Amino acid sequence: MKIAVLLPNHNHGRFIGRAVAAIQRQSHADWEMAIVDDASTDDSREAIAELARQDRRIVTTFRSERGGAVAALQTGYAMTTAPLVLGAAADDCIGNDRFFEAANAAFEANPRAGCVFAKAALVDGETGERYFVMAMARSSGWNPPQQCMRDFLCGKLWIHGAAAVWRRSAVDRVGGYDAALGPRADYFLNHALAALDGAVFLDEVATDVRHSQGSYGQSSDGESFFREYALVERNLMRLDLGYRVRTRWRRKWRGNVINERLAHRWQGQFFDSIRGPLAAFDPWHRTRFQDDLGEIAMRLHVHAQDWERELARRVAAAESIFDDIAGTLQRDRIDALVHWWKRRRSVGASR
């Protein structure tokens, strides 16, 4: 089946040739590409025009005003018709020349699947050094819809858009790229398609994702970050899933998202570990501490409680955003029984 490659670009003229060449090296040559230049100010226009001149499978459009990555992807999606879709990026690079071939074979073997995905490696934008590999699933091969949802919410499945090929009919079913989700638009699509139709995991690295300060997608501020993820949860829960999503799965996912941004679990462990020493700390002895340690201990002694209160405030604010947008989570029967049993054991252990 033909694959539509969506390639938004903003000021990545020096990288886009490499990204396109990687597509051209694919053993599966039945593809089309829509390059959407988002008002670049470098030499991107000339580079893109030359790429399109050399390969008729490439179509282009040039925006005069910056619209952002999601708007560019929406435009590229409308410019293509292929039954399979890959949302790429001009500064990333597919390193596996047989990725399209493997994705096609996976769709043919699993006609229900809404998504086929592989791993993506995060690399340094300048040196190419690999930081770590992203994307995971419980098992390679077919993962059915309910398992995908459960594993996603419980932190055992994660799909990276740079190495994910979608079935267009499945994308249309969920409404395509949602601008309200901002940089989480493809994140939602990745996991919504898996939750609805299941996904096939190819346990190999397909794409190098370039990371630098100049990357196209930029991180949201704290409040926007939580609002976007809360919208993702709300939209997932509005899907016609045909199975039940446990409240405890959603609670675990919210906790993981909040911890990803605030690292409150680690900070909580840190505060717990120093509470005893701080209670015994005598400022009189700080001058006898090693260099700098006395100053650090004094700062902790003075500010630790304020820092803990501020951390608790931030966590509560994030939880409130999720409650307002995605709904307050009531304990279901099984969740309540587990909570009761843990409390019972805790009380028994304290006696």
What is the bridge-based pairing of β-strands 31-38 and 3-9? parallel
| DSSP conformational letter for 305 | H
In a domain, 22, yes or no: yes
- Please give the residue range of the domain that contains residue 261: 247-350
**The total number of structural domains that make up the chain:** 2
Count the Cβ atoms, other than its own, within 10 Å of residue 186: 24
Is the pLDDT at 218 greater than 50? The verdict is no
What is the bridge-based pairing of β-strands 141-143 and 199-211? antiparallel
In this prediction, residue 216 carries a pLDDT of: 44
Per-residue pLDDT band for 340 (boundaries 50, 70, 90) equals low
Distance from the first to the final alpha carbon of the chain: 66
In this prediction, residue 115 carries a pLDDT of: 98
Same domain for 279 and 174?
Answer: no
In a domain, 321, yes or no: yes
In a domain, 285, yes or no: yes
In a domain, 139, yes or no: yes
Same domain for 14 and 126?
Answer: yes
In this prediction, residue 211 carries a pLDDT of: 82
Same domain for 113 and 155?
Answer: yes
Same domain for 186 and 280?
Answer: no
In a domain, 130, yes or no: yes
Per-residue pLDDT band for 349 (boundaries 50, 70, 90) equals low
In this prediction, residue 91 carries a pLDDT of: 92
Average pLDDT in the 193-217 region?
A: 85
Same domain for 213 and 297?
Answer: no
Per-residue pLDDT band for 270 (boundaries 50, 70, 90) equals very high
* Last residue of one domain, picked from the residues 187, 212, 237: 237
Same domain for 269 and 229?
Answer: no
In a domain, 300, yes or no: yes
Same domain for 338 and 199?
Answer: no
In a domain, 242, yes or no: no
Same domain for 223 and 260?
Answer: no
CATH label of the domain that carries residue 139: 3.90.550.10
What mean pLDDT value characterizes the chain?
92
Per-residue pLDDT band for 284 (boundaries 50, 70, 90) equals confident
In this prediction, residue 333 carries a pLDDT of: 62
In this prediction, residue 334 carries a pLDDT of: 61
pLDDT tens string 229-257:
999 999 999 999 999 999 999 999 999 99
* Last residue of one domain, picked from the residues 237, 262, 289: 237
Same domain for 170 and 304?
Answer: no
In this prediction, residue 109 carries a pLDDT of: 97
Same domain for 296 and 343?
Answer: yes
In this prediction, residue 20 carries a pLDDT of: 97
* Last residue of one domain, picked from the residues 176, 205, 237: 237
Same domain for 77 and 114?
Answer: yes
Alpha-carbon span 187 to 201, nearest angstrom: 16
Of 48-62, 137-151, 157-171, 284-298, the poorest mean pLDDT is in 284-298
Report yes or no: 227 and 321 within 8 Å, Cβ to Cβ.
Answer: yes
| DSSP conformational letter for 219 | P
pLDDT tens string 104-119:
999 999 999 999 999 9
In a domain, 312, yes or no: yes
Same domain for 190 and 73?
Answer: yes
Is the pLDDT at 348 greater than 80? The verdict is no
pLDDT tens string 83-103:
999 999 999 999 999 999 999
